[in-house]
Amino acid sequence: MAPDFSIGPIGQITIRAKDVARACAFYRDILGLRHLFDAGPTLSFFDCGGVRLMLSTAESAEFDHPGSVLYYRVGDIHAAYDTLKARGATFVDAPHLIAKLPDHDLWMVFLRDTEDNVLALMGEVRH
């Protein structure tokens, strides 16, 4: 590997969807992500703070499974929880304290999208 080589920031993340239209509505209308464009009936793209999020059907059986957990940063985890719950999001739990760190407390809450993928909201509450 060349010594001046380095990995850049994440450019795109794929989330598997069985029903891309249904998943698109969740990410656009419930989570409130900015929809960028669709490419046919099986691909939908969103902006997630400068990282492109792609919703896609599985290209083959080996990719047909829930994806990794994505952790979305929020300014106020309790307000985010209340807002998304009111929009119809299905939560696995309620906001809860994960760790007390020297300068902030780390809070999380987990939810599922319409395709049964687990997502998380994370909030850092400064002391």
Domain boundaries, the chain: 12-126
Closest among 11, 40, 43 to 27, alpha carbons compared = 43
Residue-level pLDDT at 66: 80
Q: Is residue 85 over pLDDT 60?
A: yes
Residue-level pLDDT at 5: 63
Are 54 and 45 in contact by the 8 Å Cβ rule? The answer is yes
Q: Which CATH number fits domain 12-126: 3.40.50.620, 3.30.420.40, 3.10.180.10, 3.40.50.2000?
A: 3.10.180.10
Residue-level pLDDT at 57: 94
pLDDT in tens, 29-82: 999 999 999 999 999 999 999 999 999 998 888 888 888 899 999 999 999 999
Q: Is residue 119 over pLDDT 80?
A: yes
Residue type, 70: L
Give one DSSP letter per residue of the chain, joined into a string. Answer: --TT-------EEEEE-SSHHHHHHIIIIIS-PEEEEE-GGGEEEEEETTEEEEEE--SSGGG-S--PPEEEE-S-HHHHHHHHHHTT-EESS--EEEEE-SSEEEEEEEEE-TTS-EEEEEEEEE-
Q: Is residue 24 over pLDDT 70?
A: yes
Q: What is the pTM of this model?
A: 0.83
Residue-level pLDDT at 109: 95
Distance between CA atoms of 117 and 23, rounded to whole angstroms?
10
Confidence of residue 3 (pLDDT cuts 50, 70, 90): low
Q: What is the mean pLDDT of residues 83-108?
A: 96
By CB atoms closer than 10 A (0-12, 13-18, 19+), residue 68 is exposed
